[in-house]
Amino acid sequence: MIRLGVIGAGYWGPNLIRNFASLKNVTLEKIADLDLAVLDKIKPEYPNTKFTQDADELFDSDIDAICVATSAPTHYELAKKALLAEKHVFCEKPLTLKSEEARELVELAEKKDRRLMVGHLMLYHPAIRKLKEFIDSGKLGEVFYVNSMRVNLGIARSNENALWSLAPHDISIILYLFGSSLPVGVSATGKDFLTKGVEDIVFASLFFNGNQMAHTRVSWLDPEKIRRVKVTGSRGIAIFDDVGKDSVVKFHEDWIEPKEAGDFTYHKSKTPGIFELDKVEPLKLECEHFAECVIQGKKPLTDGQNGADVVSILERAEESLKDKGAYKSL
């Protein structure tokens, strides 16, 4: 059994709390949040759990692991305190706001022999696993590029731009699909419409060795909710739309075969193949994975290094964003 504490019961915290509390190998020992009203709201649901406004109580306790579900600027300090207190740590994305801080946490976790896992939720989604399966099996042929879109009308932020708020999901997906290899460079453009200096829409391109690239568009200023990942290869195109009742992956056996002297042969299918997915909540799979890694001493799929890699890319993309889309090497 893992004795778990959670810091942060606001926006995303209740979802993590609910899923961790449902696991048979986890006991939810204590929940901390600065806002007493937030704690009072969820107290009736967890009568066997203790509540506090002082997060230090978790660090000083005998619990085994701490879940950090607070705002991004607090992640580094809280995760560091937890690791120094010999606790395993699950930290929501992004791991930190600075790459040197992320690397410090990775080194500290290794030194303390504790699991450090980051909440890159989409890597536990059956659809993303299916896309990875298509790539690894060769079904797509040679992968050319990945295109993702994560847009909606809201929730607008004033303390972090769309890049840092939304793109960690897509960047983690891209790294996973490309086998976790880091891009060699990045370019990003965007615009601040609502709050000066805080970009509401961002377009980011990642460039990899082997003539591969990826592109993501993120925004909270779009009239239509779209969450889509598209992988284009030399033998087909796979698409996942994460909006709607039916969660499926479509495979279009459409591709263009280069011939000589600039000539091409076009292969087009009449209807795409439909691949249904397991009806399971990705967040539950993520929480189960963390508990399993703590109990078995395994390396998490989305470990601290994965989190640090995403932060490094976000940092360089931010530099490009402020430099009007200039290419930045990694």
131-145 confidence digits (pLDDT tens) = 999 999 999 999 999
- What is the rounded CA–CA span in Å between residue 253 and residue 74? 46
Q: What is the pLDDT of residues 78-99, one digit of tens each?
A: 999 999 999 999 999 999 999 9
Q: Please determine, for residue 154, whether its predicted confidence score (pLDDT) is greater than 80.
A: yes
The predicted pLDDT at position 245 comes to 67
pLDDT tens string 55-71: 999 999 999 999 999 99
From residue 114, give the alpha-carbon distance in Å to each of 19, 69, 86, 166, 318. 22, 18, 7, 28, 31
Q: Do residues 146 and 175 touch, judged by C-beta distance below 8 A?
A: no
Task: With beta carbons less than 8 A apart as the criterion, state whether 221 and 194 touch.
Answer: yes
- Of 246 and 302, more confident: 302
In 3D space, the residue among 175, 101, 143 whose CA is nearest the CA of residue 255 turns out to be 143
**Three-state DSSP class for residue 127:** helix
Average pLDDT over residues 295-311: 97
**According to the model, what pLDDT value does residue 278 have?**
84
Encoded tokens for 119: 């909440």
Residues near 23 by beta carbon (within 8 Å), at least 6 away in sequence: 287, 288, 291
- The amino acid occupying position 53 is Q
Using DSSP, state whether 112 is helix, strand or coil: helix
Q: Does the pLDDT value for residue 124 go beyond 90?
A: yes
- pTM for the whole structure: 0.95
Strand partners, 258: 264
